[in-house]
Chains A and B, each alone.
Chain A
Amino acid sequence: MSLAGSEPLAISPHLHREITTARIMWGVTACLLPAGLWGVWQFGPRALLVVLVALLAALAGELLVGLLRSRPTVRDGSAFLTGLLVGYLLPPGVPLYVPAAASLFGILVVKGSFGGLGNNWMNPAIAGTVFAFFSWSAARRGWIAPLAWSPPAGASWAEPLAFVKSAALTSGAHGPIELLASAGYPVSRFSQALGGWLHGALGLGIDAHYLDLLFGCVPGSIGEVSPLLLGAGSVYLFRTGIITWHVPASLGGTFLVLVAVFGGLPYGAGFFAGNPVFHLLSGSLALSALYMACDPATSPMTAKGKLIFGAGVGALGALLRLCGSAPDGLPLAIILMNIATPLINGLTGPGRFGGGSGRPRA
C-alpha cells in the first residue's frame, strides 16, 4: 500500500504532504547506508555478499507477493529496507542460505501473508532473522575479525557481547570492559593511539575497547557494529520527523537504567555495578533503538503508546541481554513488544470524535 497512490485511505479531511511511503523507506535506507558500508569495509567482500543475498531474496519475495496479488509493491522500498536490515543483523560469515531464508520468511510469512506493508504487526526483518537464528546454529556464529585490528588476530574472536556472556562468571573480572582487557581481547591500533592521545592531552583515561565499540572496530553483525555511524544517520530521520524522540528515549533510558542497576549481577558485583556505556555501544542497541523499534507499522501510534512500547523493549532487552541465552536480547525484545502493540494502541488510542467518555475505544 503506497500513500502516494490515488486511492483515499480514510474519510477526509486530509493534510497533504510531499512525504510518501516510498520517500520514507528510501530515506531510512540512505541513513542506514554509512553503517553498512563501514561493516563491508571492516569485514570484507563476504559481508557484501551476505547483504546482497538478503536484499535479492527480499526483493524476489516482494515481487512474488506482488505477482500473486497483482498489486506491485516492490518500488515502495519497504522490501529493500527489510532485506537490508536482515543483512545488517547477521554476522558476515554465515552460510548464504541464512540471509536468503531470513528475508524470504520475513517478506512472505511475516508481511505478505497479512496483506503487505502496514498490515504486518511484527517487524519482518527481525522476525526473519530470529527464525533463522533458532533454525540453524550456524546463523549465530560466523564473526570475522575487523580490518582495523592489526596485526590480524590469529584466533577467531567472538563478538564482545557473546564473548563477555560466555565468560562472565568464571573470569573473576568485575565488568565487561575489565573482562575484555584481562582476556587480551584485541584492540585496533587507531583506538589505542586515540586512547593514548586522550589520556596524554586531556587527561581522560578511556579504555581503548570503548573506542573500538564506538567506531565499530569489533567483530559483530554487519550493520550493528558502528553505533557512531548509525547515530549520525539517524539525525536526518529526527530532523525530518520520520522518527520522533519517544521510542528511542524511553527505550534507551529504561535499558540503560536497568543495565546500570542489575548489570553487575552476572559478575557477582552486586547491584548498581553495571556498565551502561558498554551496553550502550555494543550489540544492536543503536540499530534497535533508532531504526527497528521505530518501524511505524509495528509500533504504537500515539506518543503515550510509543513511550510504553519503548520502555517495554528496554526492560525486556535488558532482561534478555543480562540473563537470556542469546548474546543480544534487543531484537527479540522488539518482536515481543510488537505482539503487544495492538493492545497498547487499544489502551492509548484517542477517544472517538464526539464521544464524551474517557473510554479510549468501544
Chain B
Amino acid sequence: MSYVGIILTLVFVNNVVLSQLLGLCPLVSASRRVESAAILGFAVTFVSSLAALATWAVERLVLLPLDIGYFRIVAFVLTTVGLVRLLDFLVLRTSSSLRASLQVYLPLLVPNCAVLGITLIAERSGYGALESFVAGAAAGAGFLVSILLLASIREKLESEWVPRPLRGLPIALISAGLIALAFLAFDKALVKNLIG
C-alpha cells in the first residue's frame, strides 16, 4: 500500500481510537482541555512513530531469527516502555520547559494500549522499516485528531445542563461515540476511490 494510502487509512478509516477503540483511557483523561489534549496527542504521535520503528527492528533482529513470535506482545511492551523511559531520560533532561509540560503525561499516559496496538498493527500488516515509521506516525496523528476534536467539544459542553448521571466520563464517551459514528463516513471504499 502506498504511503498516502497508509496515512489516510490510519488517520481516518482505521482510526486508532474511533475505529479500533484503543487508547480510550488517555483519551478521556486528557481531553478536558484542548492544550493538554494537544500535548498528549503530539507526545503519542512522537512515541508511536519511534515505537513502530523500534518494534520493527526487534521483530526482525530478535523475534524472527530466534523464532519466538509468541513473545511478541511482551517484547513489544518492553520495547515501548523502554523507549519512553529513554526519551524521558534523554530529551527531557535537556529542556526544563518541555519536561514541565510533559511531566504528568510521559511516564503515565504515553505508554498506553494505543501505542502498543499501533506497533502490533504495523507488525501484522507486514510493513518495512519506513512504512512502519509512517504507519506509527499516521496512527498517532489519528489519535491526535480524535483527542483534539473531543477536547474542543468537552470544553464547550455546558456541563450544568448535562443530566447529573451523565456528567463527566459518560458524556465524554457518548461524545466520542458520536464522533466515531460520523467518522464511519470514511471507509475503505473512499480511500480506494480516492487514490486508486
Contacts and interface: CB of A to CB of B under 8 A. Distances in A.
A354 B187 CA distance: 47
Given A109-B174, A336-B182, A346 B161 contact: no
A346 to B, nearest CB: 7
Nearest to A130: B181
Contact of B166 (A113, A320, A326, A342): A113
Main DSSP-derived SS at the B contact region: helix
Nearest to A114: B162
Given A324-B185, A345-B156, A339 B149 contact: yes
Contact of B182 (A113, A114, A122, A342): A122
A240 to B, nearest CB: 27
Given A114-B157, A134-B181, A343 B189 contact: no
Chain B: number of interface residues, binned into ranges: 20 to 34
B65 interface: no
Given A113-B171, A121-B156, A346-B152, A131 B162 contact: no
Given A335-B182, A340-B149, A345-B156, A115 B187 contact: no
Given A127-B181, A340-B149, A342-B156, A114 B161 contact: yes
A127 B187 contact: no
A63 B174 CA distance: 21
Interface string B170-196: 110011001101111101011001100
B152 A122 contact: no
Main DSSP-derived SS at the A contact region: helix
A342 B171 contact: no
Contact of B187 (A119, A324, A335): A324
B174 A323 contact: no
A261 to B, nearest CB: 15
A130 B190 contact: no
Interface in B107-152: 148-149, 152
B158 interface: yes
Contact of A110 (B152, B166, B178, B187): B178
Interface in A89-128: 109-110, 112-116, 118-119, 121-122, 127
A234 interface: no
Nearest to A324: B190
A112 to B, nearest CB: 8
Interface of B: 34, 148-149, 152-153, 155-158, 160-163, 166, 170-171, 174-175, 178-179, 181-185, 187, 189-190, 193-194
The 9 closest A-B pairs by CB, nearest first: A115-B161, A332-B185, A323-B193, A342-B156, A325-B189, A343-B152, A335-B182, A342-B152, A119-B161
7 contacts: A109-B174, A113-B166, A115-B161, A335-B181, A339-B149, A339-B153, A340-B149
Given A130-B182, A336-B182, 17 more contacts: A113-B163, A114-B162, A115-B161, A119-B158, A121-B156, A121-B175, A127-B181, A131-B181, A134-B181, A266-B193, A324-B185, A324-B187, A325-B187, A325-B189, A326-B185, A339-B149, A346-B155
